[in-house]
Structure 1
């Protein structure tokens, strides 16, 4: 609720009707508010028969209770107005600072403009006109929120240069923790992340918003934000599909592969819907055909069109770090490899994986002998080490789905164990 301070001390205004009259006068200052507008904003169309008399009593009460109230609030033909200087209200100080920052920016003084904007944004102690509903307060609060969003966006552009992107992102995430339904803030955060090359994080933030809106309101992000997400997704896909190679190096040749099954659009949407949990699609030989952005963040070594889960788990050194107690994992993945090879003995993808594993591990023959053929890791509980995501080990359960009509595909989803809340991944 708006408050009044005189010489550093709060002035209490008692009564809901009295507060609404005072705030309406302050918002309109220095203009006159007709009596019927004051009545409407005070009672919202359910005014008592004595409404005009009660307005006169409220004005008298304000003149007596406010320091200098007799000179502040003036009676005009058919209404009242309050006379305030530009620095006597936070709203006046805010708009004055915004105007000053624009002038500084036009004059090329970005540092001073940033400091002025920072001071202006610090004036906000919560949502504008919090606790006041109905006309004109609802419209005013929306307008003020838009003003603040524009100012915050300008602050971000300047702060990226002066303070660096990390400081800007910290501020935006703090803002969103207090205003999670403000799509404008999510858009600014997404574009700020994307402009600094952190496109996958920007996409993750969209999925965070999507989940919040779905849980709280049962709606999806606006068409505008959906379009932004699609543009960023296209950029991310073009960036990760063909990762750049170090100068002078050549791509490691892969054996010829038969045509991979296509992943229908509805399955790709299913993967996105499981954010922030990692999810991906493989074919029968564990080639990774599609993945969501959480999967890309968790397992950056499994990007690229030729990514194969078994090849990574059994032959890539990064897997020995990520997979806690790697030898136990290797037994399971070898069992999956043996099962796949039993169905396709001469497979041009699976056989080289087995050969590479035999060359890379001194204990390969023992592990291979101990491995028991399994179809998948359905319902397996295991631990991952993901220091780039969180310093603590992550416990997950794998779930395997075989979509109807797409028997060559496996959808794999990683979730926290049942009964445990999702950590802040």
Structure 2
């Protein structure tokens, strides 16, 4: 039984067994994820219907389990009925997820004992079990969270493998393995980072830069990737060898939002009816901007989704263009930057002496990633945008990317003030506390 890729079931001769129906595959996958423990009925129901179960859900689960027992080799013996649920019992070596986790634990013990070569071989065998992204063909809650957790396990194990490999193997062998991993699944941000650092530490800096540029192009269009936005200088961290402690890159000294608003003035400028409008838009974010992109007011959802923007006087444009967090949160960040730079350019055409937009423009030229966009002449010249579709990565809210649309309203009688509300067809459940 295989979970480290697409769900696969094979018989003792290695022949593939077809499990018909998405519901049956979800039940089997959840039983295997919990093995050898009991899976309660309510967990299976949630895994299949995600909170929208029919009244006959428990009867349907029984029928599905009965069918799985008929379709699986020795199914009657391996799927056991327990009080309130079911358990799947298989020898550990027959579930690739169990073999993988045993390999991780065993390699950790070997490292503690100083047996690095054996640990390296054990990790290699474990990594060879992967055939792509875990649970690649099973979408939705709770499988998305499980897939993310397994992906993190794999990335961590691969980094350990590289640390051991650089001591026990030729560097070229380590680099070849990393490139094979990326070829198998290009949407692996951490693996790209390991490859780039390994190339740099071995003196192959030009290749490292080429891989970095290739990574950005490939991951910009990936639906699975959390866009890898390095520090402002994309090559600053490449100098540290694998296994050393990350060096926090020197960022620009935090500046007060420009232009600086008098303390306590922002919220007083927002009429009560607009404040109530924002509050009524929960659980989705809504906020109010002035003409220089200072956040005058926000609802609580805005603070949960974007904790980096808490505090009075935060400037949204400065955050979106220059903050490392924005380059992680905003999928295809460079496309956003093109639009924001166009807004700056348009504003300076209207008022060439505006100190705020002149300051943003000057900072943009100094930023290597933004100057690269300027050099390509990819700036999209607009004055504003409304009805804009984009994707966010907010792991504190949900492990899955969130698709949203921004809508801009301009209240009558409040010149320069804009109310922005975000809508989404997939409102995430917010289980994290503030």
Q: Does the 8 A contact of 1:207 with 1:275 survive in 2?
A: no
Q: Does the 8 A contact of 2:197 with 2:240 survive in 1?
A: no
After TM superposition, the structure 1 = structure 2 runs for residues 173-252 of structure 1, keeping only pairs within 5 Å, are 173-215=179-221, 221-222=227-228, 226=232, 229-232=235-238
State the superposition RMSD in angstroms. 3.1
CA deviation profile, 1:91-142 (whole Å, cap 9, x unmatched): 1111111222222222222222111111111111121111111122111111
Query: Cα distance 1:138–1:212, how it changes in 2: closer, same or farther (>3 A)?
Result: same
| 1:89 counterpart = 2:95 | yes
Query: Cα distance 1:77–1:225, how it changes in 2: closer, same or farther (>3 A)?
Result: farther
After TM superposition, the structure 1 = structure 2 runs for residues 23-38 of structure 1, keeping only pairs within 5 Å, are 23-38=29-44
Alignment correspondent of 1:149 = 155
CA deviation profile, 1:198-222 (whole Å, cap 9, x unmatched): 33432332222223344557x9954
Query: Cα distance 1:152–1:189, how it changes in 2: closer, same or farther (>3 A)?
Result: same
- Out of 67, 72, 77, the position equivalent to 2:78 is 72
Query: Cα distance 1:232–1:5, how it changes in 2: closer, same or farther (>3 A)?
Result: closer
Query: Cα distance 1:117–1:27, how it changes in 2: closer, same or farther (>3 A)?
Result: same
Alignment correspondent of 1:4 = 9
Alignment correspondent of 1:134 = 140
Q: How far apart in 1 are the matches of 2:17 and 2:33?
A: 18
| 1:109 counterpart = 2:120 | no
* Runs of 4+ more than 6 Å apart: 274-277
Greater relative CO (CA pairs within 8 A, separation 6+): 2
Structure 1 stretch displaced more, 83-92 or 199-208: 199-208
- Out of 273, 280, 289, the position equivalent to 2:372 is 273
After TM superposition, the structure 1 = structure 2 runs for residues 407-422 of structure 1, keeping only pairs within 5 Å, are none
Q: Does the 8 A contact of 2:7 with 2:135 survive in 1?
A: yes
TM-score by length of 2: 0.52
- Out of 121, 130, 139, the position equivalent to 2:127 is 121
Query: Cα distance 1:154–1:220, how it changes in 2: closer, same or farther (>3 A)?
Result: closer
Q: How far apart in 1 are the matches of 2:234 and 2:368?
A: 16
Shift of 1:180: 2.2
Q: Does the 8 A contact of 2:79 with 2:86 survive in 1?
A: yes
Q: Does the 8 A contact of 1:2 with 1:129 survive in 2?
A: yes
Query: Cα distance 1:125–1:275, how it changes in 2: closer, same or farther (>3 A)?
Result: farther
Q: Does the 8 A contact of 1:203 with 1:232 survive in 2?
A: no
Q: How far apart in 2 are the matches of 1:204 and 1:185?
A: 15
Unaligned runs of 5+ in 1: 236-262, 278-425
Q: Which has the greater radius of gyration?
A: 1
Query: Cα distance 1:149–1:200, how it changes in 2: closer, same or farther (>3 A)?
Result: same
Q: Does the 8 A contact of 2:233 with 2:369 survive in 1?
A: no
After TM superposition, the structure 1 = structure 2 runs for residues 328-347 of structure 1, keeping only pairs within 5 Å, are none
Alignment correspondent of 1:46 = 52
Q: Does the 8 A contact of 1:204 with 1:276 survive in 2?
A: no
After TM superposition, the structure 1 = structure 2 runs for residues 244-263 of structure 1, keeping only pairs within 5 Å, are none
Query: Cα distance 1:95–1:79, how it changes in 2: closer, same or farther (>3 A)?
Result: same
